[in-house]
Amino acid sequence: MSLSAGSQSSGGSTTEDSWREKIPIKIFDRPGDLSLQVARHIASLVAERKKAGKDLVLGLPTGSTPIGVYQHLVRMHQEEGLDLSNVVTFNLDEYYPMKPDNLQSYHRFMHENFFDHVNIAPENIHIPKGDVERENLTNYCLAYEKEILDAGGLDLILLGIGRSGHIGFNEPGSGPETRTRVIILDELTRKDAASDFFGDDNVPREAITMGVGTILDAREVILMATGEHKAPIICRAVEEKLTNDVTASYLQKHASATIYTDLASAGELTRVKTPWLVRPVEWTDELQVRAVIWLAERVDKAILRLEESDFHRHYLHSLANLHENIDDLCKHVFESLRRRIAYSEDIPANQKIVLFSPHPDDDVISMGGMLDKLVKNKNDITVAYMTNGSVAVFDSDVRRYIRFMQMSAEFFGGDESLLSKLRTLKEVMQAKDPGEVDPDDLQLIKAYIRYSEAIAGIEVVGLNGENARFLDMPFYKTGTVRKQPIGDEDVQIVLDLLEEKMPEHIFVAGDLSDPHGTHRMCYFAVQRALRKFQERHDEEDHPMVWLYRGAWQEWEIDQSDVFVPMSKADLDRKIEAIFKHESQKDRAMYPGAYDSREFWERAKERNQDTARRLDALGLPEFHAVESYVCSFGLTA
């Protein structure tokens, strides 16, 4: 497992390069490697305890991060004979109030993802009850603590981390003395959970959670984090001082706590982002470019105006000493960035292109400027919308379309059967409980709304419905934000399109921090399909892969391979295309908890910020810029 410059092997880090880190961290190339390592550790503990005739007492979390661990343990049990009969479990938390069979219940989550597939005895499974009468809550929480003590205490507790830094549901302000209790959920936590509940208003305002003290009493703690959206809070928890504003930082006090991250969630750590600040580094060309950009922005100078003293004052002595003339280094970095600027004549023309869009708006949000130029360059373009996006449509949008159809039915010659269907659909919507999965017919209507908006969006740049392909991939069609794993059928759908179109270029969403994980899953589906495609075809038929971002994050300047400039008219056209997605305008169902801006605002401000940063580095001044990473494959 090789890691990027500045990071260590998955086994951990040296004292030399991690002296800012107050909690030991193991960094893994991929989330799957992280999950497998944790599962193997648990399996070894199970075997050790069984040999000693003892139970293993585990504290377990929910959420997307631990699912991989549970999947590996299930596989080990079913295929390798892992016996979990000596395991006792205590879950961290549960929403309150919450019935155990509700769609969003952690009871249901744990049974569907783990307990129903292994041989842990039912009497050994403990999950906080979200349906306890309120007057009995205090006694119930005390009893839960006593059950943990009676079991001998927690041998190992697994944790995730929220963007507010909470562990369990211990929100900012929770202290190390806290025990299992009812807590009021932070606004950020509720926004993060909104996707599971079909909107903020349906998220419970309280939860039952183990306390920070309960967690710190465990003999061993493993906190797992994956994804770029977790990187800032991981850095705060690990490198900054202990504070109850970030309850995960209390793990600094634990004698046997370890944080397991993938490369993305470790991205803000000093040893990964700016490793020259903590240890001697091997100055690869890539790292030199990153360091010079960092220095220029830190001292607020254009690259070609940097002086040797700037390098020495900012811990870049070794880089300065590597070059006889600092001006030559700065010129090299400047020219490297300048050559990445791609005007219309520098991007593909008269070629076959497939643009994979996870949702029916990511194409124009993230690469509307590039798409506009590709159309003008007379490329043969297919925009493949990978999911139908139905879960993100408000019922109120459906009611608006129903009202229109009812009012215009006579004009269009609608018969009674049509009006009857519309009335039935309206009744179904009225009968739905908050947070309930939409019936299939309603999901289909919502998909049609997203499809029609997608076509309207690409019409702005000169395409039409014939250029749109709606893949409607099966993994997405659960009616909830929680999706199925990518399966063979999903991969085959993508592969069939690649075989049909034989594209010379494909565009794939590379912003993997969307709160519900659809972008990441679509990326994996394309990755698996592309691998099969490349195995079948000669190298000259392998498409160039362009990774775009924009909905949730942007490529860093040093990471970008291509900068596509946009004029004000270009950016205005891109925004007009985004506006065609009316169901996502003004108030999107799932905007993400950490960014209150509308998607068009994010796209505009990110594109303009990239242009401003390039200008400040001394490159040409553009109105806006989109960034891309290019390769002939997709990394894991």
Catalytic positions, written as ranges: 171
Query: Can you tell me the distance from the alpha carbon of 564 to that of 361, in angstroms, rounded to the nearest whole number?
Result: 20
Residue 29 CB: number of other CB atoms within 10 A? Answer: 18
DSSP helix/strand/coil, 102: coil
Query: Can you tell me the distance from the alpha carbon of 93 to that of 467, in angstroms, rounded to the nearest whole number?
Result: 47
Q: Return phi, psi of residue 588, to 5°.
A: -80, 150
Give CA separation, 564 vs 286, 323, 347, 368, 377, in Å. Answer: 21, 31, 9, 11, 14
- Any bridge partners for residue 28, and if so which? 262
CA nearest neighbour of 177 among 216, 213, 146:
213
> Which residue's entry shows tokens 């929220």?
162
Q: Return phi, psi of residue 231, to 5°.
A: -60, -45
DSSP string, 563-621: EEEE-HHHHHHHHHHHHT-GGGSSS-S---TT--S-HHHHHHHHHHHHHHHHHHTTS--
- Edge-first strand listing for the sheet containing 380-385: 468-470, 380-385, 352-357, 505-509, 544-548, 624-631, 562-566
DSSP string, 173-198: T--TT--SEEEEPPHHHHHHHTTTTT
DSSP helix/strand/coil, 561: coil
Q: At what angle do helices 440-459 and 568-579 cross, to 10 degrees?
A: 160
**Which residues of 190-249 form beta strands (DSSP E)?**
206-209, 220-225
Cβ-contact 366, 338 below 8 angstroms = no
Two tokens, residue 235: 């850095």
Two tokens, residue 160: 């995730």
Query: Can you tell me the distance from the alpha carbon of 206 to that of 245, in angstroms, rounded to the nearest whole number?
Result: 19
Cβ-contact 355, 506 below 8 angstroms = yes
Two tokens, residue 260: 């397991």
DSSP 299: H
Give CA separation, 314 vs 281, 292, 295, 469, in Å. Answer: 15, 11, 7, 51
DSSP 260: E
∠ CA 15-19-21, nearest 5°, is: 110
Query: Can you tell me the distance from the alpha carbon of 290 to that of 281, in angstroms, rounded to the nearest whole number?
Result: 13
